[in-house]
Amino acid sequence: MVTRLYSHPIFLEHVTPPGHPERPDRLRAIARVLEGEAFNDLVRREAPVGDLATVAYAHPQDFVDRVKATTPESGIVRIDADTSMSPKSFEAALTAVGAANAAVDDVFAGTADNVFVAARPPGHHAERATAMGFCLFNTAAIAARHAQRAHGAERVAVIDWDVHHGNGTQDIFWDDPTVLYCSTHQMPLYPGTGAKTETGVGNIVNAPLAPRDGSDAFREAFLSRILPSVDAFRPDLIIISAGFDAHHRDPLAEINLDEGDFDWATGQLMDRAATHSGNRLVSLLEGGYDLEGLAYSVAAHVGRLMRG
């Protein structure tokens, strides 16, 4: 397997308020763990700045313009209680989009089998016209649309295992049968969406977990709901919204997974990519706020991507 990694120093310059869990140290922890000998064959690339026009694939242009105009010249400006921007935040978010779209290009060109994008800010809470939940633009949704527009993908599956439901991705694709959105997440928990009854036009599959659930419940949700939906959909591309905050060490939730669970879920989705998608799989970092749990989980995830 040829696995690429995209990252960029600009992602460290998206500054959040003191004590905020979505902080630059998250990417430093990932970078350190991926320096290990096991990752010598990981193909590393600097993320390109995204084409601003592609952001409008998932968001109205006036929203894109509004986010850009909110960028402060200095200091930090709050969009809501959780979400803020610093002078480099817009550039970081646009580079995250560029990385995700480049990853899609790579897997369709065959220059990589799969790609992991270590970027911030995350994206899956950003709705069509609302930045929220630490997120400015919905990178996964933009990448899915890029696959359709640039590469003729007819069906794209977005699988979200972040502990928080990806309300933004669900909102963007709610009535679009060409995109399958599947999510495991803790419920009840922020943002309050993600019930099993939320099904869109049959393209939304939510598999909520209860507080204190662990490996057994997570794997059962995959085996009974997520994976059968992917098999029935037969996607041309699989995108993972790869949040690692369902790890038992994470301070923002109460799900008790470990790195072995992320290894297992990665392998299951790689099997589906091999069957349906010509191995095409793109993974985008979302949450994960305990630095040790995040580092171990990313190492397991990327290690599985590399070995197949």
Catalytic residue numbers? 125
In this structure, are strands 84-85 and 77-78 parallel, antiparallel, or unpaired?
antiparallel
Q: Which residue has the tokens 């070995």?
A: 307
Q: Where are the alpha helices (DSSP H) in the chain?
A: 25-33, 52-55, 61-70, 89-109, 139-151, 167-173, 215-221, 227-233, 259-276, 291-307
Whole-angstrom Cα Rg for the chain: 17
DSSP code per residue over 26-45: HHHHHHHHTTSGGGTT-EEE
Q: Which of 299, 190, 245 has its CA nearest to residue 22?
A: 245
- For residue 228, say if its preceding peptide bond is cis, omega within 30 degrees of 0: no
Q: Dmax of the chain from CA atoms?
A: 49
Q: Give the Cα separation of 194 and 208 in Å (integer).
A: 7
